[in-house]
Chain A
Amino acid sequence: MNEPATVEFEHVFKTFGNRKVLDDVSFKISEGEALCIMGRSGTGKSTSLRLMIGLLKPDSGRVCIGSEDIVHSSEKDLSRVRRHIGFLFQSAALLDSFTLGDNLALPLRRLDKSKSPSEIKRAVDETLERVGLDLDVAKMPSELSGGMRKRAGLARALVLHPKLLLVDEPSSGLDRITASEIDDLLLQVKKEYRATLVIVTHDVRGARRVGDRIAVLDQGRLIGFGTATELDKSDHEIVRRLVSES
């Protein structure tokens, strides 16, 4: 995937049982842009992220990463696309039977076969240093605090230098200072890696700080898409209430 890490949803529909989670959602995210997806719980935000990495398939519509339609691509092509995508899960999702170092080494071993063990170790150490966890490489996930787990999850998402970083609720369960530190890291990643960021969040302050644009979902429909300033003037009350800082 040498082309820009753009993300495009084209008329995406997704249901779980009888529940319509995404209802004809279309939008496009440009290379290097940070998009924050907001909305009330159960409106399809995390589902959108999972569609972007191919963990879920839509009922209909297209999800394109760069020029690759990952809905209809083969496992091999999907694997090639995923090589350039990092995913920070809401719970960090560190493998609890692995040390922190092994958690970071896993993507390198599986998706970048060219690296020798010493190169993998160096990459792990460098990435952990970047998120301030270089002294915790041998710790198990259960030994880490909530904020450390988030940073560790971010380190794993970054270890392959992704062009597209998907982040699911980076501030959930964290105090305001730690959440702000995570936002700082995301801004740093955006600047240094020139990565495209898609962040699902309930944190208005963080969304306005990190996001270039904000998408607002409600009952599976995209009801707002634009900069925070644009959305402040939206006709839709839910949009104004969700993006308002007050």
Chain B
Amino acid sequence: MGRFFTFIGEVSSFGLKALVDAFWPPFEWEFFVTQIEEIGWRSLPLILSAGFALGVVLSMHTRGTLVQFGAEALIPSLQSASFFNELGPLITALLVAGRVGAGIGAGIANMRVTEQIDAIESLSVDSFKMLVVTRIVACVLILPMLTLFMDFASIAGGFLAEYLASHISLQLYLDRAFKTVEWANFIPPTLKTSVFGFIIGTVSGFFGYTTDEGSDGVQRAATNSVVLSSLLIILADVVLVKAIFFLFPRNAV
């Protein structure tokens, strides 16, 4: 139990240091832009295809039930509410934790065991800022944008499934999908993914940066990054949903 709390303390102070360093010059712009491309741009195909496929699947599942009650007109709004409020942010974060978390953990750990971090430090460059802070900030900024892509890809997938089933027009589908959507139940859930991004960047960066066990350490850093990031994202989601309900009571209705 003591080791668990020590570990939690270490990860927390690691994240806190990254948070402070993110606002403290010098800023590693060049490496930050590289990470935006790596984490954001290269995750986009996965996010779009997953969002589209999930949109199709959710639409097919809900149709079967709602048709029995003559409520198939609710399918678009159910689709948008599900994705904008919960599925979009959570699935985006879990997918990014899998793709990017493993990459960050293994990438930084590999740099540690091949002395690349020592080489950076020997040039008096702050390797923590260059390798960890840039990745965390990129994750924080890019997650809400990827969530938007996930949300809209799922709407596209939902429309396709509905069009094939009932030949609904795009205009009508979008009208129904966005009729019940308000800024208050769209913006907060999207922005909460910044917290998920912080979790992914911090946890993966921690396992990668602190490894000292050779090639086994690289593998362990990748695995631990994904497992712990995913778990913490789900736990944080519970807290964040509660916080959103508290701050925006209409979302809870």
What residues of chain A have their CB less than 8 Å away from a CB belonging to chain B? 50, 53, 55, 75, 78-79, 82-83, 85, 87, 89-91, 93-97, 106-107, 110-111, 156
* Known contacts A87-B119, A93-B119, A95-B119; A111/B114 CB under 8 A: no
7 contacts between A and B (CB under 8 A): A82-B122, A87-B119, A89-B115, A96-B111, A96-B114, A110-B124, A111-B123
Contact with A along B202-233 (1 / 0, CB 8 A): 00000000000000000000000000000000
Alpha-carbon distance between A133 and B48 when the two chains are bound, in angstroms = 43
Q: B123 near A95 (CB under 8 angstroms)?
A: no
Contacts of A97 in B (CB 8 A): 34
The B interface, classified by DSSP as helix, strand, loop or mixed, is helix
Give A160 Cβ to nearest chain B Cβ, in Å: 9
Contacts of B66 in A (CB 8 A): none
What residues of chain B have their CB less than 8 Å away from a CB belonging to chain A? 34, 110-111, 114-116, 118-125
Contacts of B110 in A (CB 8 A): 96
Contacts of A83 in B (CB 8 A): 124
Alpha-carbon distance between A110 and B114 when the two chains are bound, in angstroms = 21
Alpha-carbon distance between A24 and B119 when the two chains are bound, in angstroms = 27
Alpha-carbon distance between A106 and B125 when the two chains are bound, in angstroms = 10
Q: A90 near B115 (CB under 8 angstroms)?
A: yes
Q: Out of B111, B119, B124, B125, which one reaches A89, CB within 8 Å?
A: B119
Q: B124 near A93 (CB under 8 angstroms)?
A: no
Contacts of B119 in A (CB 8 A): 87, 89, 93-95, 156
* Extra A-B contacts (20), CB below 8 Å, given A53-B122, A85-B122, A110-B125: A50-B118, A55-B118, A78-B124, A79-B124, A87-B122, A89-B118, A91-B114, A93-B119, A94-B116, A94-B119, A95-B111, A95-B119, A95-B120, A96-B111, A96-B114, A96-B116, A97-B34, A110-B124, A111-B123, A111-B124
Contacts of A110 in B (CB 8 A): 123-125
Give A140 Cβ to nearest chain B Cβ, in Å: 13
Q: A95 near B122 (CB under 8 angstroms)?
A: no
> Quick one: closest B residue to A85, CB to CB?
B122
Counting chain A CB atoms within 10 Å of each CB, the highest count among B110, B116, B119, B125 belongs to B119
Q: Out of A82, A95, A156, which one reaches B124, CB within 8 Å?
A: A82
> Quick one: closest B residue to A166, CB to CB?
B122
Alpha-carbon distance between A79 and B124 when the two chains are bound, in angstroms = 5
Alpha-carbon distance between A124 and B131 when the two chains are bound, in angstroms = 24
> Quick one: closest A residue to B121, CB to CB?
A55
Give B157 Cβ to nearest chain A Cβ, in Å: 35
| A-B pairs, 3 with minimum CB distance | A79-B124, A93-B119, A93-B115
Alpha-carbon distance between A27 and B114 when the two chains are bound, in angstroms = 29
Contacts of B120 in A (CB 8 A): 95
> Quick one: closest A residue to B118, CB to CB?
A55
Alpha-carbon distance between A64 and B124 when the two chains are bound, in angstroms = 17
> Quick one: closest B residue to A156, CB to CB?
B119
Q: A55 near B124 (CB under 8 angstroms)?
A: no
> Quick one: closest A residue to B30, CB to CB?
A109
> Quick one: closest B residue to A86, CB to CB?
B122
Give B58 Cβ to nearest chain A Cβ, in Å: 38
Counting chain A CB atoms within 10 Å of each CB, the highest count among B110, B111, B123 belongs to B123
Q: B116 near A82 (CB under 8 angstroms)?
A: no
Contacts of A95 in B (CB 8 A): 111, 116, 119-120
> Quick one: closest B residue to A107, CB to CB?
B123
Give A202 Cβ to nearest chain B Cβ, in Å: 18
Alpha-carbon distance between A90 and B114 when the two chains are bound, in angstroms = 9
Give A90 Cβ to nearest chain B Cβ, in Å: 7
Q: A93 near B116 (CB under 8 angstroms)?
A: yes
Contacts of B123 in A (CB 8 A): 82, 106-107, 110-111
Counting chain B CB atoms within 10 Å of each CB, the highest count among A90, A110, A156 belongs to A110
Alpha-carbon distance between A24 and B148 when the two chains are bound, in angstroms = 61
> Quick one: closest B residue to A103, CB to CB?
B119
